[in-house]
Structure 1
Amino acid sequence: MIARIKPAAIYLIIILISFFTNYSLAQKKQLTFNQVYMFAEPRLINQLPRNIVWFDDENYLQQKRVDGSTAIVKVNALTGKEEVLIKYSDYDDVLLEYELTLDDNILKTDDYKGFILKKDNDFYFFSLITKQLKRLTTDNQEKANPTLSPDGKKLAYTKNRDLYYVDIESGKETRLTFDASETVYNGWASWVYYEEILGRSSNYRAFWWSPNSEMIAFLRTDDSPVPKFPLFKADGVHGELEWEHYPKSGDPNPDVKMGIAHLSDNNIVWVEEDETADQYTAWPFWTPDSKELFYQVLNRGQDHLQILAANPTTGKNRLVHEEKQPSFVEFFEDIYIFNDGSGFILRSDKDGYRHLYYYDMKGNLKSQITKGDWTVTEINLVDEKNKKVYFEGNKDNSLDNHLFVVDLEGKGLTKLTKTSGTHDAKLSKNGSYFIDTYSSLNDPGRIELFNSKGESIRVLGERKNSIMDEYQLGKAELFKIKTSDGVELPAMWVLPPDFDPMKKYPVLFSVYGGPGVKDVKNAFSSFLDRFFISQNGIIYFVVDHRGSEHFGKKGLSMMHRNLGKWEMNDYIESVKYLRTLPFVDSTKIGITGGSYGGYVTCMALTYGADYFTHGIAEFSVTDWHLYDNVYTERYMDKPEENPEGYKSGSALTHADKYKGHLLITHGTLDDNVHMQNTIQLVDKFTTLNKDFELMLYPNERHGIGYPKWVHARREYVQFWFKHFLGKDFMIE
């Protein structure tokens, strides 16, 4: 029987609970500015073991310190037995003569028997077998993106934007292209291809070795049709002008074509294509036998993509697969081609969510491997022998990311990661084991080794430092906000650790908000800004709109020709929800973000001025006419094709509605989102006699680097203290 407690007793219990809770919090520490933004000691989050790679199906390699030296240690996955494979200091007697150590290595051969080192812009090869160092280049000229051939016998790179390779055994350097100039690049990407097509991780590399190490596919780019944009450095007396080939919305693109360099006779075969077509060519994938080069062509409207297979000897091509969508199609960045030549796997979003499709080499569909209202986020491993695919996805909960395995027919789908949260798995060569790095909203997580059934073998590292429990951190919670038209938006907040529902709290939206991006996830953020903000009496808040990853291509397509519309609709719906909560101060609804998040912030303080009161907009797009054509036209089409969309999606259009408090920041040499965006918004505001704050960071690019980062973060914190808390912020 449950005892009945009298009301007076209940009241006494509440008082006692409140007393002991507040007493407990009073004994705990608070985060300092330097801990959070300067990453100073003491650290609440441990650094997990890094540089762990699988050596084979039974062993992984880990870089460690052994007897004061860097070492590569081979670890047996099942037993944990360690074997020092290489200790760098063992080779100091050879290398120090050349003022080098193995710590200077930039590349390793697959068998870890050969190392590429770099010194004064030149490359060296060190063999662990012969213990000999060989100098590969001698010109002291800057070289970029050194990449070993699959057999480890050649090294390719670009120099002065032409493509070269050096034979490691003979030391002979060969120049493969000869026409690079101020506008022509071979194996080196133009800015817009680097930023929007190949990705920043490419570091401008636009060449790809064939599996047989006898050919290199590369892009030849001519930027001469692309307008130049001036970036001004105000140093010294007269300053300096930097010109960037940057195609804005509607501008001409660079001329790009795919070449295949044959190393045996130093001959280049150009892949057959219509050079007069306004299109994008990129993302090649060699077949394992090197007999064909799969590459992709996307039309300027970005709604029709073709996968073509070229004969590397003749350049002739054939159509393998094509996709058309009413909104847009994106390049396939992770095509898997089977070693046995049976076909390939695509990760396509053509049915509304990104799923796995298995095709034969002629492009005939053999099976749809996964399906449903959820997203496959990555192909981790294809076990051809057992006809299985290991992949990561958000099945059952879009806030999570898990590792799954399924057969090629789509049968036997099994989730291998059990703990709720966000997982990032690395599988052994044949899938017998996987190393999983994972966390959840309130658990910093760990790195752990599992077998193929998802059973834990051992924990390799804990992210949580034991001192974290000494700190007064706010409680992070996940929930959903239902819009007036029935869409459930994923949301997260961090409430102050001494939260009192009888008080009124300001709210700070933290946003990126770009198309297809997921800001709200069941993962721990090791950047502790959210806890610093909340411990000072501000509710830290994140919400995702219907164009985010949670809603697949179905939601994302709603943003087509409508950037700004649905983001603002759903963020405003979220403010309306917050206003219904008695503990939210509706006079202090702030928002902050950078890049696309800066755009959203500018829109919130103009278009959404009746809902958002304060904002910090960092390096923001303010009008889509001013951003690059590949990104912008994917979502908005050309300006002449969608004039109303460009107008309604511009913060400049809505500047007259601005009535809050906005701090705008920008780096003066931003080569991605030009400071022109900020200048045009400032021009609007000053013409309209609006009050705002402006902070420029001289010579900074896209984002503010150290040491000016310190100033930027101090200004960020000071802004919220001044406007939300009514006091100045002092760094401890």
Structure 2
Amino acid sequence: WVKTDYNVDQYIAWPFWTPDSKKMAVQVLNRDQNDLRIILADPQTGDFNEIYREARKTWVEFFEDVYVMKNGSGFILRSYKTDWENLYYYGWDGRLISQLTNFEWRVNEILRVDEDAKVVYFTGTGPESTDNHCFRIGLDGKNLLQMTKGPGVHNVSISPKGSYYTDTWSNISDPGSIIAFDRKGKTIREIHRFEKPEFDASKHSRAELVRIRTSDGLFNMPAIITYPLNFDPSKKYPVIFRIYGGPNSKNIPGNRWQGENPSWDSQNGIITFTVDHRGSGHFGKKGLDYLYRSLGKWEILDYIDAVKWLREKPYVDPERMGITGSSYGGYMTCLALTKGAGYWTHGFAGSSVTDFRLYDNIYTERFMDTPQDNPEGYKDGSALTYAANYKGKLFMTHGDIDDNVHMQNSIYLISRLQDEGKTFQFMIYPGNRHGYTGQKALHSRNEANAFWLSSFFGK
């Protein structure tokens, strides 16, 4: 056993070995999740020494994608210590060999490390947070090269020896193509071009990527608005927010082609709306840290700003403003109809957290600390607190053996709404966990569709 102190509350996870397998690096995170250490342990004796430490006032997270250099010189990790995810190259003695990147945008993933050529290939957003590009940089942090060109999402695959790369790209206005290029970023050929169909309003729905300013003027939230078939701007349309909304979890899949086939919403005369709040990951730790000890506060405030933006559009019907999601998205939906009552009129919530005092301690304490340390934060972030404000129509669903978000969450909100004399709907899915399967999944989907048709069109 590693001779760490097992009498204190801490998390020990994500180990990785030195290339010669003589020592093992272990990540140790304190209970408050704001102080992370990497210790290098001798498996024969259990002795260890600390080789890395990172702490901040809010929270830090485990490094899940550490790259270990095969030549034994050290390891590369992706850290938020400059408020944006950047790459750092450390030796096994804990010495920083080089900070590979120093961007004010997000590095997403290490694709490949060419140790012989002393370069790292990685993906990142670049300055536009809805993009994804491939980059190359030296292990000394010099000679940065952006290998993919043009706005959009670029998904890069690498040949076994790293000599060639393919880029499958698109953006919201262009279905894109597949391009082959070499390790220096030189285009070899366009392998395939995806044809953009001639737009037919009766067959195709139009999508736009927009930015919405938060009311405090600090963030420009990305959003995608998808219009129904045969869209007529002189008419009034209902809207459905389709969201997840958890910390560092983007709803916007990126500036990519949305496809030719219209969604169920579009086929049924409904505008689909997706937006990312300040804590979604688009704005680095500057945005994320707003959520510290305040889950449910800034997400709803930012979503309300999006509702206000939509209300300014002559083609949006503010009396038919829906929201839906599952898990954290269910939490957002329940909050929207209680804490945000008056902005949304309808909600369909699945597997919802309703009070974080009822949820997993590791996830919850990372952002909220303990209920004893942060009672007001837990109270303010609970849908139960605002049950008296509820108005509109809410349909909740839950699996009775959900071992992630226990059905207790929905039961507590149901009880509170009943005590307040409120009307709502609830569906239990027996024998189902956090994600419904088989006929239960089909039933839930059909119930949701029927709810929207009935609520918006009286069908």
Q: TM-score interval w.r.t. the shorter chain? A: over 0.9
2:238–2:317 Cα contact (<8 Å) kept: yes
The whole-number CA distance in structure 2 between the counterparts of 1:464 and 1:708 is 38
- Equivalent position amino acid for 1:534 in 2: S
- Equivalent position amino acid for 2:235 in 1: K
The whole-number CA distance in structure 1 between the counterparts of 2:159 and 2:28 is 33
- Equivalent position amino acid for 2:256 in 1: A
Deviation of 1:726 after TM superposition, in Å, equals 2.3
1:649 matched to 2:372: no
Deviation of 1:535 after TM superposition, in Å, equals 2.8
Aligned to 1:318: 49
Aligned to 1:717: 449
Match of 1:699 among 423, 427, 431: 431
Relative to structure 1, the CA distance from residue 527 to residue 703 in structure 2 (aligned partners, 3 Å threshold; closer, same or farther) is farther
1:418–1:454 Cα contact (<8 Å) kept: no
The whole-number CA distance in structure 1 between the counterparts of 2:274 and 2:356 is 24
- Residues 44-86 of structure 1: CA deviation (Å, up to 9, x unaligned): xxxxxxxxxxxxxxxxxxxxxxxxxxxxxxxxxxxxxxxxxxx
Aligned to 2:18: 287
- Equivalent position amino acid for 1:523 in 2: R
Match of 1:523 among 246, 251, 256: 256
1:476–1:493 Cα contact (<8 Å) kept: yes
SS of the equivalent of 1:322 reads: strand
Aligned to 1:569: 301
Aligned to 1:178: none
Deviation of 1:577 after TM superposition, in Å, equals 1.2
Deviation of 1:722 after TM superposition, in Å, equals 1.0
Q: How does 1:337-352 map to 2 (within 5 A)?
A: 337-352=68-83
- Equivalent position amino acid for 1:715 in 2: E
* TM-score, normalised with respect to structure 2: 0.95
Match of 2:207 among 476, 480, 490: 476
- Residues 600-650 of structure 1: CA deviation (Å, up to 9, x unaligned): 000000000010110100100000001100000000001100000000000
Deviation of 1:584 after TM superposition, in Å, equals 0.9
SS of the equivalent of 1:654 reads: helix
1:506–1:586 Cα contact (<8 Å) kept: yes
Deviation of 1:422 after TM superposition, in Å, equals 1.8
The whole-number CA distance in structure 1 between the counterparts of 2:215 and 2:56 is 29
Relative to structure 1, the CA distance from residue 527 to residue 677 in structure 2 (aligned partners, 3 Å threshold; closer, same or farther) is farther
- Residues 232-252 of structure 1: CA deviation (Å, up to 9, x unaligned): xxxxxxxxxxxxxxxxxxxxx
SS of the equivalent of 2:383 reads: coil
1:674 matched to 2:406: yes
- Equivalent position amino acid for 1:368 in 2: Q
The whole-number CA distance in structure 2 between the counterparts of 1:720 and 1:469 is 25
Relative to structure 1, the CA distance from residue 698 to residue 447 in structure 2 (aligned partners, 3 Å threshold; closer, same or farther) is farther
Deviation of 1:312 after TM superposition, in Å, equals 2.2
2:202–2:229 Cα contact (<8 Å) kept: no
Relative to structure 1, the CA distance from residue 475 to residue 292 in structure 2 (aligned partners, 3 Å threshold; closer, same or farther) is same
1:586 matched to 2:318: yes
2:202–2:230 Cα contact (<8 Å) kept: no
Aligned to 1:27: none
1:380 matched to 2:115: no
Deviation of 1:273 after TM superposition, in Å, equals 1.3
Q: How does 1:72-151 map to 2 (within 5 A)?
A: none
The whole-number CA distance in structure 1 between the counterparts of 2:391 and 2:47 is 61
1:280–1:298 Cα contact (<8 Å) kept: yes
Aligned to 2:230: 498
- Residues 518-554 of structure 1: CA deviation (Å, up to 9, x unaligned): 11221245796x7220232111001110001111111
- Equivalent position amino acid for 1:549 in 2: G
The whole-number CA distance in structure 2 between the counterparts of 1:306 and 1:464 is 51
- Residues 20-44 of structure 1: CA deviation (Å, up to 9, x unaligned): xxxxxxxxxxxxxxxxxxxxxxxxx
The whole-number CA distance in structure 2 between the counterparts of 1:646 and 1:558 is 15
Aligned to 1:366: 97
Deviation of 1:436 after TM superposition, in Å, equals 3.4
The whole-number CA distance in structure 1 between the counterparts of 2:348 and 2:336 is 11
- Residues 470-497 of structure 1: CA deviation (Å, up to 9, x unaligned): 9712101001111221121111100123
1:383–1:430 Cα contact (<8 Å) kept: no
SS of the equivalent of 2:340 reads: coil
1:378–1:393 Cα contact (<8 Å) kept: yes
SS of the equivalent of 1:620 reads: coil
Aligned to 2:148: 417
Relative to structure 1, the CA distance from residue 456 to residue 471 in structure 2 (aligned partners, 3 Å threshold; closer, same or farther) is farther
SS of the equivalent of 1:454 reads: coil
Aligned to 2:347: 615
The whole-number CA distance in structure 2 between the counterparts of 1:465 and 1:580 is 31
2:51–2:92 Cα contact (<8 Å) kept: yes
2:204–2:260 Cα contact (<8 Å) kept: no
- Equivalent position amino acid for 1:272 in 2: K
- Equivalent position amino acid for 1:672 in 2: N
The whole-number CA distance in structure 1 between the counterparts of 2:436 and 2:173 is 29
Deviation of 1:463 after TM superposition, in Å, equals 7.7
Aligned to 2:30: 299
Deviation of 1:446 after TM superposition, in Å, equals 5.7
Q: How does 1:595-614 map to 2 (within 5 A)?
A: 595-614=327-346
Relative to structure 1, the CA distance from residue 467 to residue 716 in structure 2 (aligned partners, 3 Å threshold; closer, same or farther) is farther
- Equivalent position amino acid for 2:255 in 1: N
Structure 1 residue runs of 4 or more that deviate by more than 6 Å after TM superposition: 459-471
SS of the equivalent of 2:372 reads: helix
SS of the equivalent of 2:366 reads: helix
- Equivalent position amino acid for 1:371 in 2: N
1:473–1:535 Cα contact (<8 Å) kept: no
Aligned to 1:665: 397
Relative to structure 1, the CA distance from residue 638 to residue 464 in structure 2 (aligned partners, 3 Å threshold; closer, same or farther) is farther
SS of the equivalent of 1:612 reads: coil
Q: How does 1:232-311 map to 2 (within 5 A)?
A: 270-311=1-42
Alignment RMSD, CA only?
2.1
Gaps of 5+ in 1: 1-269, 728-732
Q: How does 1:450-489 map to 2 (within 5 A)?
A: 450-457=181-188, 472-486=203-217, 487-489=219-221
Deviation of 1:708 after TM superposition, in Å, equals 1.9
- Residues 169-192 of structure 1: CA deviation (Å, up to 9, x unaligned): xxxxxxxxxxxxxxxxxxxxxxxx
Deviation of 1:442 after TM superposition, in Å, equals 4.7
SS of the equivalent of 1:347 reads: strand
Relative to structure 1, the CA distance from residue 580 to residue 488 in structure 2 (aligned partners, 3 Å threshold; closer, same or farther) is same
- Residues 186-224 of structure 1: CA deviation (Å, up to 9, x unaligned): xxxxxxxxxxxxxxxxxxxxxxxxxxxxxxxxxxxxxxx
The whole-number CA distance in structure 2 between the counterparts of 1:373 and 1:534 is 37
The whole-number CA distance in structure 2 between the counterparts of 1:590 and 1:379 is 39
1:623–1:650 Cα contact (<8 Å) kept: yes
Aligned to 1:543: 275
- Equivalent position amino acid for 2:142 in 1: K
- Equivalent position amino acid for 1:275 in 2: Y
Deviation of 1:445 after TM superposition, in Å, equals 5.3
1:534–1:540 Cα contact (<8 Å) kept: yes
Aligned length: 457
SS of the equivalent of 2:11 reads: strand
SS of the equivalent of 2:352 reads: coil
Relative to structure 1, the CA distance from residue 538 to residue 634 in structure 2 (aligned partners, 3 Å threshold; closer, same or farther) is same
